[in-house]
Amino acid sequence: MTATDDIALIGERQAAARRLLADPIVTARTHPDDFAVIRSHSDWLIQRFRRVLGYELKVAADHARLVKTGLVSGTTRPLTRPSGAYFSPRTYSYLALSLAVLVEAPARLTAAGLAADVSAAAAEAGLDLDPRRRMGERRAFAAALRRLADWGALSEEQGRLPAYAADSSHEVHLAVHHDVVRRVVAHPPHATDDPAAFVADMDATDPAGEDAGEVALRRALAETAVVYRADLSERQRRRLAAHQWRAVAELGDLLGCDAEIRAEGVALIMPGDTGADAVAAFPSAGPVGQAALLLVERLVARLRPAAPQTRVEVPADVLEEELARVTAAQTAGGGERTALRHEPDPATLAARVLRLLCDTRLMHHPRPDAGDRSGWWLLAAAARYGGRPSAAPAPDGPPGASADDTGRHRRPAPQAAPGSAL
């Protein structure tokens, strides 16, 4: 094997690892090329995920499932509809009920037949849910089914689920892939009357043992856009100081990523090839990503502190003013429009921009979906996007995000703004 072949082999393995980290269910039906690479390197991936992150990878004939554990509260992102809206509790309920029904469903069925079975399961569980009752219920039910189809648990053989959501008379024939259905829930829930206790039992971010603590630290680095030292427990801060270079090297070997290690924390810089919706990529070429990049550039330019700080409060009037500018620029055609380009609803663009900046740990709010413009903070990592001339607050030109770099954080990084270390 030549050196070029060896580099290509390593690159394939690392790309497969990044894909699984971003999208833990990969099937031969939904992502045939990615699954073929994962299966060809399954032994390496199984061994490395277990050793580096303590995750179990299951590779079957037609699907792969990465079973994650140990991180819940800090890294879990809500499921979203195609519009970008978060799943409602009702939609999650339909997702859970559909999974319960599909485990023993026939291999072929219709959406209407599945709706009837889900309604019966809801009645048995004492839930007032029936997707046949009205359009709002049917849309929530169809959104759950579309998510299952994205995961490869279902496939549409005839008809389309969006059409069924709009009109109950539209017939949709579904194929059920039982092996994937059984893999969707990685950790079957145990009986509990307290959801918070169930989540707490699954969360293991600060174990006492040194080996387990290092694995938890590597998980946090891999799954979190930026790990701030101030957010860690005292024990984990000491571990990060002692083992950060080793952790970054291990993750670099697995994922092919770079890292920035600064006084405030550590950020992995991922290549932009995962193509997974589950990743909060920044910067990105989409309209939400471009608007978010422009917003953070303008906020850094306006609010850069005179002395180094780990975060800066964003006045509500400043945030409202800058959001109005960037959303107006985006919806007025700040980016190139094409037939394949999706333009977000102007009414929700600001909320999606703030959510993206919160997910990528560039801004913080205790309740980011509350719609409140007060209580927002600009975090230290935002400074790396504030060194470009376009960050000046006066002009309203296009954001200029790179179209071919959609990694979690940009590589290479722009010069940081004065007064910030990350």
Has residue 102 been placed in a domain?
yes
Q: Is 296 a domain residue? A: yes
DSSP codes, 291-323 = HHHHHHHHHHHHH--SS--SEEEE-HHHHHHHH
Domain membership of residue 65 (yes or no) is no
Residues ≥6 apart with Cβ < 8 Å to 60? 179
On whether both 292 and 346 belong to a single domain, the answer is: yes
Residue 136 within any structural domain of the chain:
yes
* 10 located within any domain: no
> For each of the chain's 422 residues, which pLDDT tens digit applies?
555 668 889 999 999 999 999 899 999 999 999 999 999 999 999 999 999 999 999 999 999 999 988 765 556 678 888 777 889 999 999 999 999 999 999 999 999 999 999 999 999 999 999 999 999 999 999 999 999 999 999 999 999 999 999 999 999 999 999 999 999 988 777 777 777 777 666 666 777 788 888 999 999 999 888 999 999 989 999 999 999 999 999 999 999 999 999 999 999 998 876 555 556 678 888 888 899 999 999 999 999 877 778 899 999 999 999 999 998 887 665 444 443 445 566 668 888 899 899 989 999 998 887 788 999 999 999 988 875 544 444 444 433 333 333 335 544 333 333 333 34
Asked, for residue 193, whether it belongs to a domain, the answer is: no
Q: Is residue 146 a contact partner of residue 162, using CB atoms and an 8 Å limit?
A: yes
Q: Are residues 265 and 291 in the same domain?
A: no
Long-range contacts of 195-201 (CB under 8 A, 24+ apart): 199/72, 199/73
Question: Domain limits at 211?
Answer: 202-269
Domain check: are 385 and 292 in the same one? yes
Are 310 and 387 found together in one domain? Answer: yes
Taking the C-alpha atoms of residue 13 and residue 17, their distance in angstroms, rounded to an integer, is: 6
Q: Answer with the one of 269, 302, 326 that is the final residue of a domain.
A: 269
Answer yes or no: do 210 and 156 share one domain: no
**Spatial separation of the C-alpha atoms in residues 71 and 203, rounded to whole Å:** 5
Chain segment 384-408, per-residue pLDDT in tens: 887 554 444 444 443 333 333 333 5
Measured between alpha carbons, how far is 374 from 325 in angstroms, rounded to an integer? 18
Looking at 184, 218, 248, which one is the last position of a domain?
Answer: 184
Cβ-contact 422, 262 below 8 angstroms: yes
Q: How far is CA 260 from CA 225, 243, 268, in A?
A: 11, 14, 6
In a domain, 405, yes or no: no
pTM over 0.75: yes
Q: Indicate whether 304 and 375 sit together in one domain.
A: yes
How many domains does the chain contain in total? 3
- State whether 167 and 100 are in the same domain: yes
What pLDDT, in 10s, does the model give residues 45-86?
A: 999 999 999 999 999 999 999 998 876 555 667 888 877 788
- Please tell me whether residues 257 and 209 are part of one structural domain: yes
Contact 374, 288 (CB under 8 A): no
Token pair for 153:
């648990």
Is residue 383 domain-shared with residue 343, that is, in the same domain? yes
Residue 166's CATH number: 1.10.10
Kindly state whether residue 277 falls inside one of the protein's structural domains.
no
Q: How many helices (H) and strands (E) does the chain have?
A: 14, 12
Whether residues 226 and 174 fall in one domain: no
